[in-house]
Structure 1
């Protein structure tokens, strides 16, 4: 299947502008079966103070994702600051299909360094979504630093990481995305924003990596881009059969 990674800028807490801008950036369908946006793509990453509007915004953003999925004839993934049925703030990664159905994953590892753990509630489950013959593990930004939680148990073929990852830690982003692909014998789809906010600058480095650690496709500069890559499942299966690393993995659970 084909995946389009959407590397874009975000205006902090400007929902209307962000959604309209993404309408323009997505434009005509690329033929991909999945479009991946960034972490908190509609508002920007706000570790604190996002509670007031998060519930209403999340409903609007989810409706927009459903519309886009139908228009693009593809699934759309991206994370949203939202309030759950218990009134708790979540950093929720939605995976929305063209028929309007969806799955979601709540960010497990909250970025305490920026205070995300003070306002948000962490998720407590791994989520794998099957779509067009590929099983995707859903992950958000800081989750990238925790390999035990994302360890391949033979239950997925590709990992999705959506992020607001700052430029001063770009080497970590690039290194860990490649490590996750190699150690789990899977594709990794990493989508990061560009631009800046009150705290950080962002240079993107959005990329699709294969199980060998090779770049299949990626954004070549710190600019807004939509790049499409093909996930070759036949090649992945042949590699896993020829070199069955996962059969020798340590037996543990997270």
Structure 2
């Protein structure tokens, strides 16, 4: 029974009961299946660290120093996630503070990833080909970099006046996981996050989401997890920016069933959580809702397209 108890920790009770009955006529086969499943779960768990921090307005050096103190306390993580525009705050002055893809902040990210032997994700203001981008950077321990340029620019704050929108989604294959990455306002547009045929196992949303609309943030994160049957991680900042906008965090981890596993607000905090790939797979097998989704694509490349 010890084997069954171990599996119970990873699977929904209804799912476990169904599998137990299905295999109950052959105890030996069932035992072998659970042993292999438990070993697979250990290999496919992912430790993710969420950094909810205050930011110094438009001062990359001070923000790097401050966040490095947060990172110093992290051990054994596979992935560290920072907020949107973590070097400057959500600024509409890219001409004065943008960096290049060889600038000090990306070099700092590479150094931190190598030092902690994990991937680091966050967005910053990047200039490239005489344009400015709100660019999410995924930096691996070996120094390799993947990036995503924010597609949905926040017109309410005239982000579209200063920045160029991206049009290509990012899904990273990382330690057996498929992880999609988005930025802030993208959260309001479910088609862009659509998880056709299990295209991803977890989705990351990094943000500078003001406190006055925090109820929207929390509700939409939970909705994205439920409709896409994936883990959803939302990492937001705290404090006040140079425009006197307040941020109260609400950094969250939500599982594929929509259960809130972590919810932090109103203060700086660094939390490491563990994600289970077998839980994602088990939920989708027990509730195969993604297979019933209506087929469609956007005019440009989008998650779930055949392109």
Say whether the 8 Å CA contact 2:58–2:97 is kept in structure 1: no
- Matched residue pairs, number? 251
- SS of residue paired to 1:206: strand
Q: Quick one: distance in 1 between partners of 2:233 and 2:285? A: 22
**Residue 101 of structure 1: which of 133, 137, 144 is its match?**
144
1:166 Cα deviation after fit = 0.3
Q: Quick one: distance in 2 between partners of 1:130 and 1:57? A: 22
1:147 is matched with which residue?
Answer: 190
Aligned counterparts, 1:15-164, within 5 A: 15-46=60-91, 48-56=92-100, 59-84=103-128, 86-153=129-196, 154-164=198-208
1:56 Cα deviation after fit = 4.8
Say whether the 8 Å CA contact 1:107–1:143 is kept in structure 2: yes
Q: Quick one: distance in 2 between partners of 1:190 and 1:161? A: 5
Calculate the TM-score normalised by the size of structure 2: 0.80
**Residue 3 of structure 1: which of 12, 28, 48 is its match?**
48
Q: Quick one: distance in 2 between partners of 1:144 and 1:205? A: 14
**Residue 274 of structure 2: which of 210, 230, 245 is its match?**
230
- SS of residue paired to 2:156: helix
- SS of residue paired to 1:144: helix
1:245 is matched with which residue?
Answer: 289
**Residue 204 of structure 1: which of 249, 254, 257 is its match?**
249
- SS of residue paired to 1:205: strand
The answer for unaligned runs of 5 or more in structure 1 is none
- SS of residue paired to 2:84: coil
Calculate the TM-score normalised by the size of structure 1: 0.96
The answer for unaligned runs of 5 or more in structure 2 is 1-45, 299-307
- SS of residue paired to 2:98: helix
- SS of residue paired to 2:250: coil
Say whether the 8 Å CA contact 1:66–1:96 is kept in structure 2: yes
Whose Rg is larger? 2
- SS of residue paired to 2:190: coil
Residues 32-88 of structure 1 deviation map (CA, whole Å, 9 limit, x = unaligned) = 100000000011111x2212330359711110110110111110000011111x111
Q: Quick one: distance in 1 between partners of 2:97 and 2:59? A: 11
- SS of residue paired to 1:182: helix
